[in-house]
Amino acid sequence: MFGVFRRKIVSGSSSSALIIGKSWRRARPVASTAAEGEILLHTRIIGYARSICHAIQPGSAVNLRPLREVMTSLQPGVSIQLQNRMFSSDSGDLVDAMVPFMGESISDGTLATFLKKPGDRVEIDEPIAQVETDKVTIDVASPEAGIIQEFVAKEGDTVEPGTKVAIISKSAEGAAAAPSKPATSEAASQPPPAADVAEKPKQKVETAPVIEKPKPASPPPPKTSASEPQLPPKERERRVPMTRLRKRVATRLKDSQNTFALLTTFNEVDMTNLMKLRSEYKDAFLEKHGVKLGLMSGFVKAAVSGLQNQPIINAVIDGDDIIYRDYVDISIAVGTPKGLVVPVIRNADKMNFAEIEKEINTLAKKANNGTISIDEMAGGSFTISNGGVYGSLLSTPIINPPQSAILGMHSIVTKPMVVGGNIVPRPMMYIALTYDHRLIDGREAVFFLRRIKDVVEDPRRLLLDI
Positive or negative, the Cα torsion across 350, 437, 265, 331?
positive
- Residue 394: pLDDT above 60? yes
Tens of pLDDT, residue by residue over 342-371, are 999 999 999 999 999 999 999 999 988 888
The Cα–Cα gap between 361 and 358 comes to 5
Four-way CATH pick for 94-173: 2.40.50.100, 3.40.1260.10, 3.40.50.720, 2.40.440.10: 2.40.50.100
Whether the full predicted model's pTM is greater than 0.85, yes or no, is no
Per-position DSSP letters for 309-352, written without gaps between them: H-GGGG-EEETTEEEPPSS--EEE-EEETTEEE--EETTGGG--
pLDDT band at residue 18, thresholds of 50, 70 and 90? Answer: very low
Given this chain, do its domains 94-173 and 245-464 carry the same CATH topology? Answer: no
Tens of pLDDT, residue by residue over 102-143, are 777 778 888 888 888 898 999 988 999 988 887 778 889 999
pLDDT band at residue 240, thresholds of 50, 70 and 90? Answer: confident
Sequence ranges of the domains in the chain:
2-83, 94-173, 245-464
In terms of pLDDT, which residue wins out, 289 or 239? Answer: 289
- Class of the 245-464 domain? alpha beta
Q: Which residues are catalytic?
A: 437, 441
| Closest CA relative to residue 303, chosen from 463, 466, 433 | 433
- Residue 100: pLDDT above 50? yes
pLDDT band at residue 171, thresholds of 50, 70 and 90? Answer: confident
The Cα–Cα gap between 139 and 198 comes to 56
Omega before 402 cis (within 30°)?
Answer: yes
